[in-house]
Amino acid sequence: MLSFETVNELTLKVTCTGNDVLFTKAGAFIAGDSAGGKNYKFEKLLLGPQNNLAQAALGSLMRRVTGENIPLMKVMFSGDSVTYYASYSQHVVIYKLAVGEVISVESENILAFTQDCKYDVRFIGCGVLSQKGLATSTLTGAGANAYVAVLCDGNPIVLSNIQSRNTISVDPDAVICWMGQSGYCDPNIKTDLSWKNLIGQASGESYAFEWSGNQPVSVIIQPTERRGGIRVGVD
């Protein structure tokens, strides 16, 4: 069995009891501690974490086509150990999924997840507006030990309308992940394009992900934006 916890906000600590498997971003391992010799090994995933070869091949193709491709490795444990993972001093956020619960997350923000999570890639259909908008990776709780660790540039900000039922609007290039109370809870895509975009007088906030009060959701954003999206203007 695996358990997740953070160390100084910037490192993921994974404690293994017995035999288990972890999926993590390739190259994220930084240290390990195990009694009686090293009892874990690494293997690069050429296709994906799915157990079915056909599904793994299809998933790999979808990730490459949609830009959600992420180099993953499998860590195989054969005894009690503690291992540590990090990526460029980014903050680490841990979430434990209930069975059937879904988290939609940008692929570049995935640090690690347990084999009790079902991994998939799904279209949400707004890639023309944002660098990371066409598709998103999803992890679904499929067991009692479904841990997910995600990365954030800076301290994360959590917005939720589950109690307030307010409308939540966020920049797609700042979104890390979102979790709804039921199903995928995909955002609506709101645009604010006008003639000002053509003469370089736009606000720079011409599109947004929006969840209404009828879509109870929790959204994690980071205090920075990815580079990308459309930039329209005339010199």
pLDDT score of 201: 45
pLDDT score of 181: 67
pLDDT in tens, 110-159: 999 999 999 887 776 544 444 444 567 889 999 999 999 999 999 999 99
pLDDT score of 169: 93
* DSSP three-state, residue 144: coil
pLDDT score of 182: 66
* DSSP three-state, residue 17: coil
pLDDT score of 7: 96
DSSP one-letter string for 157-213: EEEE-TTT---EEE-GGGEEEEEESSS--PPEEEE---GGGGGT---S--EEEEE-T
Domain residues of the chain, as ranges? 2-221
Side-chain-side CA neighbours of 190 within 13 Å: the count stands at 12
Domain 2-221 belongs to what topology? Double-stranded beta-helix (3.60.160)
pLDDT score of 71: 82
Q: Cα dihedral sign for 34, 35, 40, 41?
A: positive
**Residue 168 near residue 157, CB atoms below 8 Å:** no
Task: Tell me how far CA of residue 234 lies from CA of 196, 198, 230, 231, in angstroms.
Answer: 10, 6, 13, 10
Report the alpha-carbon distance of residue 180 to residue 212 in Å, rounded: 12
pLDDT score of 4: 97
Residues with Cβ < 8 Å from 126, sequence gap 6 or more?
133, 134, 172, 189, 207
pLDDT score of 22: 96
Could you identify the residue written with the tokens 């150990």?
81
pLDDT score of 83: 97
Question: What number of helices (H) and strands (E) belong to the chain?
Answer: 1, 19
∠ CA 44-46-49, nearest 5°, is 80
The stretches in the chain having pLDDT less than 50 are 65-66, 68, 126-133, 195-203, 229-235
Q: pTM of the entire structure?
A: 0.80
